[in-house]
Structure formats: structure tokens, C-alpha cells
């Protein structure tokens, strides 16, 4: 089976590396199509498959095509690919917002899987949701599921609203977590730690808290109460957070991401 990844940026490269690392495809059967000649040159030095800049030289031989360009570039891409698409091909899109129907219409194909991964896929700790059009067979879906599993955890959902919601939670989510980390690192710096000490204190705290939460049945609120001694330091911090709108602000940020995903789907 030949796989073509279109868009050799952050996510395109992540998929190429994961597929090769998992031996799901041989280097000769993996193709990457990149529009930018400069980026294509860089990709050639990275041993992530055969690199192309011209769709007519690689599209027709591909069985599975991964669409990893920005949503704003999708219409131009579809117009370019459409004359050479084949209804037997399976298209896997990871573009935020872009609906299955618009991919089917834009490319003139039926078999479309829409997935929303996230950046930790780079280190095998990704979170992906995916769904598929009716024309995708069970065997094709399992094949793509195996592919997604090389990047971390993946769940099947039965509607595209869940894909947009995934975009707002786990797709964009790493940025929210890193923003919180950035604030704590800045606080640690202001308390006298140097940069590397501050980063270690914060990163290890996040890792520990996440592992606790994932490996046990307690809720976040229950863990918070275990950290908080009556009249102690955590309570002082939590009272300060609760006196502001930070909790609602984080939820509102995620809701803005959902609204933007839906907007991208309409444009």
C-alpha cells in the first residue's frame, strides 16, 4: 500500500515519522507532497519518504492520502488534485473544521475519514478522534485506526460535531496547558529560581499531577482537596483563583476554539 502525505509541516512530518517508526509502511511506499520548494528541500534531508512538489507525479499511485495542509489552503489544494483523484482512494484529513462533505465535493471522492490529532503525536502521546463517511469499508477504517494508533490514543466518534469539539479540547489543548505552565514558570522565576530550575519544577509538577489523575479514580476536585491543607498554602492559592474568573475563562477559551473550528467548516 502506498501512502501520500500532503503538507510536510508539523503534522505531516509527525505522521511520516510515526508510520515509518511503526513499520506500517516502507520508506519507498511513503510519499510526501510539499508545496514550498524550500520546505521540500529540508524534508529530503530528513529521510521521511519520497518527497514531491508536483501532485501529478504522486497522487494517482497513492492508496491512502493524508491531508495535512492548513484549512485555509484546502480549497486551492482540492482544485489542484481533483482532476487526478480516484474513487478507490481513501482520504484521511486532519484539517481543523473542514467537513467530510466539503472534502468529498472538493475532491470528487467518497471515501473520507476525518480525524483530529494533536501535537504530542510527535512523541507517541497524541490524542485523536476520528469519524468516517459511509463509503469507507470496515477494513479501510481498521487500517487507518492502526495508523492513528502509532501516534498515541485514538477514539472513533460517530459525528463531526465531536471532531470539532475534539479540536477545541485536545487538538488545541496542549497550548492551553503550556500557557498555564508558562505562567507558573514565570512565577517561579520571580521567586528566584533560574530558568532551568523553574522549568523542571513546573514540568515535573504537571507530569506528576497528570499521572495521579490518570492512574486513579479520583476526580480533579478530589485531588485538589487532598493537596489542600486546611488554612494552608494551596488553599491560599485556590482562594485567589476562585475569586477570579480564571476557571470560566479557560472554558470560554475552549468554546472560542470550537466556534472557530465550526467557522472554518463553513468557509
Ligand X SMILES: O=C(O)[C@@H]1CCC=N1
Least separation in angstroms between residue 119's CB and ligand X is: 7
The response to whether 10 counts as a known ligand-binding position is yes
Q: Is 126 in the site for ligand NAI (CB under 6 A)?
A: no
Burial of residue 266 (CB within 10 Å: 0-12, 13-18, 19+) is: exposed
Q: Phi/psi of residue 208, each to 5°?
A: -60, -45
Cβ at position 226, least distance to ligand X in Å: 32
Cell of 127: 490524542
Minimum separation from the CB atom of position 60 to ligand X (A): 29
124 is in an annotated binding site: no
Binding string to ligand NAI for residues 31 to 70, with x set by CB under 6 A, is what?
Answer: --xxxx--x----------------------------xxx
Decide whether 92 or 96 has the Cβ nearer to ligand NAI. Answer: 96
- In this structure, what C-alpha cell is assigned to residue 182? 508558562
Question: Which does residue 146 touch among ligand X, ligand NAI, none (CB within 5 to 8 A, set by kind)?
Answer: none
All three cell numbers of 146: 492502526
Sign of CA dihedral 35, 96, 155, 224: positive
Which SS3 state, helix, strand or coil, does residue 230 take?
Answer: coil
DSSP for 109-144 reads: -S-EEEEE--GGGGGT-EEEEEEE-TTS-HHHHHHH
Residue nearest to ligand NAI (CB): 9
Residue 255: CB minimum distance to ligand X, A? 15
Residue 2 — φ and ψ, nearest 5°? -105, 135
Closer Cβ to ligand X, 49 or 173, answer by number: 173
Compare residues 9 and 238 and give the one whose CB is closer to ligand X: 9
Residue 106 annotated as binding? no
149 in a labelled binding site: no
Q: Give, as one character, the DSSP assignment of residue 169.
A: I
The nearer residue to ligand X, 24 or 169, going by C-beta atoms, is 169
Query: Of ligand NAI, ligand X, none, which one sits near residue 207, judging by CB under 5 to 8 A according to partner kind?
Result: none
CB closer to ligand NAI out of 111 and 114: 114
- Strand, coil or helix: 7: coil
Amino acid at each position: 500500500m502506498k501512502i501520500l502525505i500532503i503538507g510536510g509541516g508539523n503534522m505531516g512530518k509527525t505522521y511520516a515519522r510515526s508510520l515509518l517508526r511503526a513499520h506500517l509502511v516502507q520508506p519507498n511506499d511513503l510519499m510526501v507532497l510539499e508545496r514550498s520548494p524550500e520546505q521540500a528541500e529540508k524534508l529530503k534531508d530528513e529521510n521521511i519518504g519520497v518527497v514531491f512538489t508536483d501532485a501529478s507525479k504522486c497522487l494517482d499511485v497513492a492508496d491512502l492520502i493524508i491531508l495535512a495542509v492548513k484549512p485555509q489552503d484546502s480549497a486551492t489544494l482540492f482544485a489542484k488534485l481533483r482532476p487526478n483523484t480516484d474513487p478507490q482512494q481513501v482520504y484521511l484529513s486532519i484539517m481543523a473544521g473542514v467537513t467530510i462533505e466539503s472534502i468529498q465535493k472538493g475532491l470528487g471522492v467518497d471515501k473520507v475519514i476525518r480525524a483530529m490529532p494533536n501535537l504530542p503525536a510527535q512523541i507517541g502521546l497524541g490524542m485523536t478522534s476520528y469519524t468516517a463517511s459511509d463509503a469507507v469499508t470496515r477494513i479501510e477504517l481498521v487500517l487507518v485506526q492502526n495508523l492513528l494508533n502509532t501516534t498515541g490514543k485514538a477514539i472513533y466518534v460517530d459525528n463531526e460535531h465531536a471532531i470539532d469539539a475534539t479540536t477545541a479540547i485536545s487538538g488545541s489543548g496542549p497550548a492551553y496547558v503550556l500557557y498555564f505552565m508558562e505562567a507558573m514558570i514565570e512565577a517561579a522565576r520571580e521567586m528566584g529560581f533560574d530558568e532551568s530550575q523553574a522549568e523542571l519544577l513546573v514540568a515535573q509538577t504537571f507530569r506528576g499531577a497528570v499521572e495521579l489523575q490518570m492512574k486513579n479514580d479520583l476526580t480533579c476536585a478530589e485531588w485538589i482537596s487532598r493537596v489542600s491543607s486546611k488554612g494552608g498554602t494551596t488553599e491560599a492559592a485556590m482562594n485567589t483563583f476562585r475569586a477570579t474568573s480564571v476557571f470560566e475563562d479557560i472554558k470560554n477559551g475552549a468554546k472560542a476554539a470550537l466556534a472557530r473550528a465550526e467557522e472554518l467548516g463553513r468557509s
